[in-house]
Amino acid sequence: MAERRFSATRLPGFATIAMLAFLALYIPILTLVVYSFNSEVTMGNWGDLTLAWYGKAWANADVKDATLRSLTIAGLAAVISTTLATMAALGTTRRRAFKGQTFIYVMINQPLMVPEIVTAVALMILFGLIKTVTGVHGLGYLVLAHSAFCIPFAYLPIRARLEGMDLTLETAAADLYASAWATFRRVTLPILMPGVIAGAMLAFVVSLDDVVITEFVKSAGQDTLPTYMLGQMRRQLTPEINAISTGLLLVTVAMLTAFFLLTRKND
Amino acid sequence: MTAKNAIEARNVVKAFGQGDTAVRALDDVSVEIRQGEFFTLLGPSGCGKTTLLRLIAGFEMPTDGLILLDGQDITYLPPNKRPVNTVFQSYALFPHLTVAQNISFGLEMMGKPRAEIAARTEKMLALVKLEAMAGRKTSQLSGGQQQRVALARALAPQPKVLLLDEPLSALDLKLRQAMQIELKRLQQETGITFVFVTHDQEEALTMSDRIGVMSNGKLQQVGTAKEIYTTPKNRFVASFIGETNFLAAKADGTKARLASGDMVDLAVPVSGDVTLTVRPEQVRLASANEPGALPATITNLVYFGTDTHVHLALSDGTEVTARVQSPATGDAGLEKGAKAAIRFAPGAVQVVGD
Amino acid sequence: MADIHMSAAEAAQIKTSARHGWLLSLPALVVLAAAAVGPLLIVVVYSFLEAGKHGNVVGNFSTDGWRGILWTKDIFTDSYVLADAHLTIFWRSIKLSFLTTMTTFVVGFPTAWFIATRPPKARALWLFLITIPFWTNLLIRTYAINEVIRAEGLLNLALMKVGVISEPLKLIYTDIAVFVGMTYVYLPLMVLPLFAAIDRFDLRLLEAGYDLYASRWQVLRRIVLPIVKPGIIAGSILVFVPSLGAYVTPRVLGGGKQMMIGNLIELQFLAGKNWPLGAALSMTLLVVVTIALLFYVRAANGEKSHG
């Protein structure tokens, strides 16, 4: 039987496996979302479509508390880590390689190379010591911990954008009598901005999602949304968890869409 | 006795897209390529020459029409089942294999015994004079060397037809000229049918047994270099190959009247409104009182070393370019603005279609 | 020949540039030292201290923490015996990590290939679709798998409805549950580096392979795989490392029965009341992971010779 088209890139079975993979990736998530609208508690019974669980979650004081804390930490961590990452990116790209640059690079990416549980335990011990010695508690420890592991996530898109920048633009600015600071403020930074915002969003999402490190560093009553959910999973599960999960999912998708639009290759 | 054609394309159509916006890369193309000949597909970019090559290789399949190899229908055969090999424009050498491994790749895929593979690979290395580079990775070679590896790799499986997709376009002038001679020699030595694609008309003229000139998905003319140059079928071929003058005229038998009122002789009788074409080197400078001389004024002179292009205007302003040998030192030169006369060499005036 | 005699001005400029590089990076380095790298040193110290009666540590030097990784003190005979429970956990961690890595590769490679060979507009969409699970909260994804495989979950409901089984399958809280969970959670981590490698791959090499009579299988094995090997290694490391240190997935899907190293570490800081052991285990995990990373770096650099 004659094959009407020859495609050099077609490998037998690959498209099927890919489609199955996509299905397998999304079915569990979609199940979660769908059942957040189920009025019945168990999956076996399908009741009516309802937003009751969302209402319950919203009315839940613990959930509100945890959400607020999550957003606060994520916001602060995103701002701090993005600022530090931007400076580090400016310091490590587009200049002649200097001694120790590899060291800086390794340090910046260190959170990506260490299993979270190890960092979590280390921070728990260190911060525990500091808490006993100074008696200072509060959100600061979590913010510090999050800022640290968010740095590499903010760094990568900023660095990518910086490296893709046309060097001749800054040369042109200098040709037109701009000082180094003016060049940075009026040329480099504006063009870099999409990368910076992308990095900030990535940092925000990563902080919002963190479970392990937060779980070990937090003091009692300092739940974030993920640690609250983790606690709930030890007990009787209700679709309230589904509702919260769907909410978080929407935030992630929204941020991701914005991220994709920002990092599109055409400007 | 008619030997089967090495490659025959019959009424081949290749369209991309659907409906109104469909683009015909090939529009009813038919061509016969003979065994053992060096055939070139020549045309500007977008004319369809590469598309036709890919149809012969099997990377694409036609929307309509047939491709025959040695009389067999291979139109829908996948490329790894056709005894046809390609030298790619970008060479497409496997970066993870050495030069020798690249060359032996096709033979390995054919399942040839190891001894035969080794022997043929050595022969190919000697053929392209790259024995010393056998163990190198291809990224360490120069552009010209990579080109030779691509050639050896495609020749190793002894295909019935070798396809070459603008293989010399990435090389600088001197290297290109050397490779043109090399390719011609290889083709004659191996006797394999070569189908060569290029947009460089000089390349086509120097290397080919026959040329197929293409434009806009259509085959405009097929012939030897001389045929195409001296008797172009239409406006496109006349202007794509070399330079030419176009003159509008009214013909009546073997005589035609130009817009300037002058009369010229035609080689073949024809009547009605026609377009005439004359190559610049067939335009001779004459004295005004010669029979058949056309009065003209010199508007510009461009010095090319051995040649001089003389731009003239006939009595009605029609522009004609003549290519003459530059005057020897001591002879009277030509002058801008001077009055002159031109004559066309007998039989040099052609009538072209559109 | 390179001009090795720089002018004094040039040399000074390079020095300033380096200084600026350091200054700009300093704040980030300080934060990382305080909250990422520095704390690890404390863990090392704690691993060599004595466990306190009610958790935490006492200031005496002791190697009990390290010894506790493989041996426990038999309370009856007061001698050291192999800690079977620990060995089971280590074996489970390694086994599941390897299985997860291989499965994600077998499923992930065709997926990455599929995405990379789409036309540009469609490709952006598919990339977006694979990135969403990647950035979705780990906990949510693990919980989602829970919803599918537990006794009243989607899978059992569907199978029972169709009539294939009459009683729900006991999938949750087994090794299989953890394996499925990890594969699900880490699949995007395998796909993305594979996609990056395949995206860089010159697709014309495929045509060259077919032109030279290779079958589709040969093209895959002899041309594609050798060239995308760095991507394969990167993806494997990106899956193996987190798998080995997994904590959330075995906790939620293993229910405390199918512990992995991460859970064992946590245990020492809670009911186990053996902080030095927890510290020692953490350091061991870190060392194993670092070795795997060095292996990757070496393999990746070895591929640079024919970039």
Residue C306 pLDDT exceeds 50:
no
Share of chain B above pLDDT 70, in %: 97
Q: Do B76 and A8 touch (CB under 8 A)?
A: no
Q: Do B61 and A8 touch (CB under 8 A)?
A: no
Residue B139 contacts C where some CB pair is shorter than 8 Å = yes
Q: Which B residues, 57 through 76, put their C-beta within 8 Å of a C-beta on chain A?
A: 58-61, 75-76
Residue B57 contacts C where some CB pair is shorter than 8 Å = yes
Share of chain C above pLDDT 70, in %: 95
Report d(CA B287, CA B295) in Å as an integer. 9
Q: Which B residues, 108 through 127, put their C-beta within 8 Å of a C-beta on chain C?
A: 109-110
Q: Band of the pLDDT at C217, cuts 50, 70, 90?
A: very high
SS3 B322: strand
- CA C138 from centroid of its chain's CA atoms: 13
Residue B77 contacts C where some CB pair is shorter than 8 Å = no
Chains B & C: contacts with CB separation below 8 Å: 68
Helix, strand and coil content of chain A, in percent to the nearest 5, comes to 75, 0, 25
Model confidence pLDDT, tens digit, residues A43-63: 777 777 888 888 888 888 888
Q: A12 contacts in B (CB within 8 Å)?
A: none
What Å distances lie between residue C117 and A266, B234, C127, C174, CA to CA?
21, 43, 12, 38
For residue C272 the two structure tokens come to: 């186990």
What does the DSSP assignment read for A42-58? STT----B--HHHHHHH
Q: B76 contacts in A (CB within 8 Å)?
A: 2-4
Chains A & B: contacts with CB separation below 8 Å: 14
Q: Band of the pLDDT at B188, cuts 50, 70, 90?
A: very high
What pLDDT, on a 0 to 100 scale, did the predictor assign at position C21? Answer: 85
Question: Would you say the C-alpha torsion C185, C186, C187, C191 has a positive or negative sign?
Answer: positive
Q: Band of the pLDDT at A78, cuts 50, 70, 90?
A: very high
Report d(CA B251, CA B271) in Å as an integer. 5
For residue C281 the two structure tokens come to: 């285990």
ipTM above 0.90, yes or no: no
Q: B96 contacts in C (CB within 8 Å)?
A: 226-227, 306
Q: Please give the average per-residue pLDDT across A75-91, as a whole number.
A: 94
> What predicted TM-score, i.e. pTM, was given to this entire model?
0.80
Identity of the residue in A91, A129, A212 whose CB atom sits nearest the CB atom of C21: A91
Give C232→chain B minimum CA distance, Å: 15
Closest CA to B197 of B92, B48, B30: B48
Residues 6 or more apart in contact with residue C93 via CB below 8 angstroms:
C244, C246, C260, C261
Chains in touch with A (3+ beta-carbon pairs under 8 Å) read B, C
Q: B106 contacts in C (CB within 8 Å)?
A: 211-213
Residue B65 pLDDT exceeds 60:
yes
Q: Do C210 and B79 touch (CB under 8 A)?
A: yes
What Å distances lie between residue B132 and A104, B119, B128, B141, CA to CA?
44, 16, 11, 11
Which DSSP helix (H) or strand (E) runs through B342? strand B339-344
Please indicate whether residue A96 or residue B256 has the higher confidence score (pLDDT): B256
Residue B320: what are its φ and ψ, rounded to 5°? Answer: -135, 140
Identity of the residue in A44, A84, A245 whose CB atom sits nearest the CB atom of C140: A245
Report d(CA C51, CA C65) in Å as an integer. 8
Report d(CA B104, CA C212) in Å as an integer. 10
Options 1.10.1660.10, 3.40.50.10490, 3.30.110.40, 1.10.3720.10; which CATH number does A28-39+47-263 get? 1.10.3720.10
Chains in touch with C (3+ beta-carbon pairs under 8 Å) read A, B
Residue C305 pLDDT exceeds 50:
no
Report d(CA C253, CA C142) in Å as an integer. 7
Q: A6 contacts in B (CB within 8 Å)?
A: 58-61, 78-79
Give B332→chain C minimum CA distance, Å: 54
What DSSP designation does A211 have? -
Residue C298 pLDDT exceeds 70:
yes
Residue A267 pLDDT exceeds 50:
no
Residue C79 pLDDT exceeds 80:
no
Residues 6 or more apart in contact with residue B331 via CB below 8 angstroms:
none
Give A261→chain C minimum CA distance, Å: 10
Q: Which C residues, 211 through 270, put their C-beta within 8 Å of a C-beta on chain A?
A: 216, 220, 241-242, 244-245, 247-248, 251-252, 261-262, 265-266, 269
Residues 6 or more apart in contact with residue C171 via CB below 8 angstroms:
C149, C150, C155, C156, C177, C180
Q: Do A84 and C153 touch (CB under 8 A)?
A: no
Radius of gyration (C-alpha) of chain C in whole angstroms? 25
Q: C200 contacts in B (CB within 8 Å)?
A: none
SS3 A240: helix
Q: Band of the pLDDT at B199, cuts 50, 70, 90?
A: very high
Domain boundaries, chain A: 28-39+47-263
User: What burial class does residue B33 get, using C-beta atoms within 10 Å of its C-beta: 0-12 exposed, 13-18 middle, 19+ buried?
Assistant: buried
Q: Band of the pLDDT at C4, cuts 50, 70, 90?
A: low
- CB C82 within 8 Å of CB C71: yes
Give B58→chain A minimum CA distance, Å: 7
Closest CA to C269 of A216, A219, A231, A213: A216
For residue C4 the two structure tokens come to: 């090795």
Query: Which residue in the block uniquely carries the two structure tokens 């090939």?
Result: B26
Q: A205 contacts in C (CB within 8 Å)?
A: 135
| Edge-to-edge order in the sheet of strand B23-33 | B23-33, B7-16, B64-69, B72-73
Q: What is the 3-state secondary structure (H, E, C) of chain C?
A: CCCCCCCHHHHHHHHHHHHHHHHHHHHHHHHHHHHHHHHHHHHHHHHCEEECECECEEEEECCHHHHCCCEEECCCCCCEEECHHHHHHHHHHHHHHHHHHHHHHHHHHHHHHHHHCCCHHHHHHHHHHHHHHHHCCHHHHHHHHHHHHCCCCHHHHHHHHHCCCCCCCCCCCCHHHHHHHHHHHHHHHHHHHHHHHHHHCCCHHHHHHHHCCCCHHHHHHHHHHHHCHHHHHHHHHHHHHHHHCCCHHHHHHHCCCCCCHHHHHHHHHCCCCCHHHHHHHHHHHHHHHHHHHHHHHHHHHHHHHHC
Q: Do C208 and B94 touch (CB under 8 A)?
A: yes
Residue A109: what are its φ and ψ, rounded to 5°? Answer: -90, 0
Chains A & C: contacts with CB separation below 8 Å: 270
Residue B157 contacts C where some CB pair is shorter than 8 Å = yes
What DSSP designation does B282 have? G
Share of chain B above pLDDT 90, in %: 51
What pLDDT, on a 0 to 100 scale, did the predictor assign at position A239? Answer: 83
Report d(CA B154, CA B183) in Å as an integer. 13
Residue of C nearest to A258 (CA): C128
Report d(CA B140, CA B137) in Å as an integer. 6
Least confident range from B136-140, C244-248, C269-273: namely C269-273
Q: Do B78 and A4 touch (CB under 8 A)?
A: no
For residue A82 the two structure tokens come to: 């993005």
Model confidence pLDDT, tens digit, residues C147-186: 888 877 888 888 888 887 777 777 788 888 899 999 999 9
Q: Band of the pLDDT at B51, cuts 50, 70, 90?
A: very high
What pLDDT, on a 0 to 100 scale, did the predictor assign at position B352? Answer: 83
Give, rounded to a whole angstrom, the gap between the first and last alpha carbons of chain A: 47
Q: B59 contacts in C (CB within 8 Å)?
A: 207, 210-211
Model confidence pLDDT, tens digit, residues A152-176: 999 988 988 888 887 777 778 777 7
Please indicate whether residue A47 or residue B42 has the higher confidence score (pLDDT): B42
Residue B2 pLDDT exceeds 90:
no
What Å distances lie between residue C222 and B103, C203, C209, C227, CA to CA?
14, 14, 9, 9
Residues 6 or more apart in contact with residue B213 via CB below 8 angstroms:
B42, B43, B219, B220, B221, B222, B228, B236, B237, B240, B241
- CB B84 within 8 Å of CB B154: no
What pLDDT, on a 0 to 100 scale, did the predictor assign at position B196? Answer: 97
Which DSSP helix (H) or strand (E) runs through A212? helix A212-217
SS3 A81: helix
For residue B337 the two structure tokens come to: 């603005």
- CB C134 within 8 Å of CB C140: no
Q: What is the mean pLDDT of chain B?
A: 89
- CB C260 within 8 Å of CB C96: yes
Residue B87 pLDDT exceeds 90:
yes
Residue B167 contacts C where some CB pair is shorter than 8 Å = no
Q: Band of the pLDDT at A236, cuts 50, 70, 90?
A: low
The total of other beta-carbon atoms located within 10 Å of residue A137's CB is 12
